Amino acid sequence: MAPRIKTRERIVQNSLELFNQQGERSVSTNHIAAHMEISPGNLYYHFANKQEIIAVLFTQYEELVESFLRPPQGRVATVEDKRFYLKALLAAMWNYRFLHRDLEHLLDSDKELAARYRRFSQRCLLQGQAIYRGFVEAGIVEMDSVQIESLTLNAWIVLTSWVRFLCTTRENSAHLSEEAFKRGVYQVLVLELGFVTAKARPAVDALCQEFYVSLNQALEQ
């Protein structure tokens, strides 16, 4: 028999579900309690306010991203590693999409969260550069240090602003599809194409076909 999930963990799980479905600003602690069929007092016993729930969810997201955003250890990087990073990024963005959709509001509302996000961003940029250096050493791309820094920054800007682009461009921004997110990951691949070596090009082109989603599909479905 599976162990019963503790109320605190259920609150976090249900909050993530509601935030992703409706947007964080549309969901109150009372909404969460009603959705779970528990009293508001029971929820407040575990979390003093919604910001505390969001802080836990950000910790989960932070730990998830940092668990995979690192160069392979003890071996040379491969194009398959690139595929792994892209699929992991897509899953993280999709599963915690409310963070991307409501990011500016969340950071404006919580100075501590904003400080944590800045540190997280800096670590991700450093790890991204390390990953690209690994691809250079493996002969998958050709870039100098300035190009590595610039490409990492551009990739970060695309990934962190993609959901905002969808929300401001789609007619129905309340219901985003995973395919629409997939197009954002494809955009990162496109940024890299000018640096891909001849020997790696067939494998990278296959990746592009795998992740491609038409713009019309991304904006309409």
Residues 114-150: tens digit of each pLDDT: 999 999 999 999 999 999 999 999 999 999 999 999 9
What percent of the chain stands above pLDDT 90? 85
In contact, 47 and 105? CB cutoff 8 Å: no
Q: Which domains does the chain have, with CATH numbers?
A: 1-47 (1.10.10.60), 50-218 (1.10.357.10)
Output the pTM of the full model.
Answer: 0.92
Q: 139 with 78: CB under 8 angstroms?
A: no
Residue-wise pLDDT for 163-220, tens only, equals 989 988 887 777 788 999 999 999 999 999 999 999 999 999 999 999 999 999 988 8
SS (H, E, C) the chain: CCCCCCHHHHHHHHHHHHHHHHCHHHCCHHHHHHHHCCCHHHHHHHCCCHHHHHHHHHHHHHHHHHHHCCCCCCCCCCHHHHHHHHHHHHHHHHHCHHHHHCHHHHHHHCHHHHHHHHHHHHHHHHHHHHHHHHHHHCCCECCCHHHHHHHHHHHHHHHHHHHHHHHHHCCCCCCCCHHHHHHHHHHHHHHHHHHECCCCHHHHHHHHHHHCCCHHHHHHC
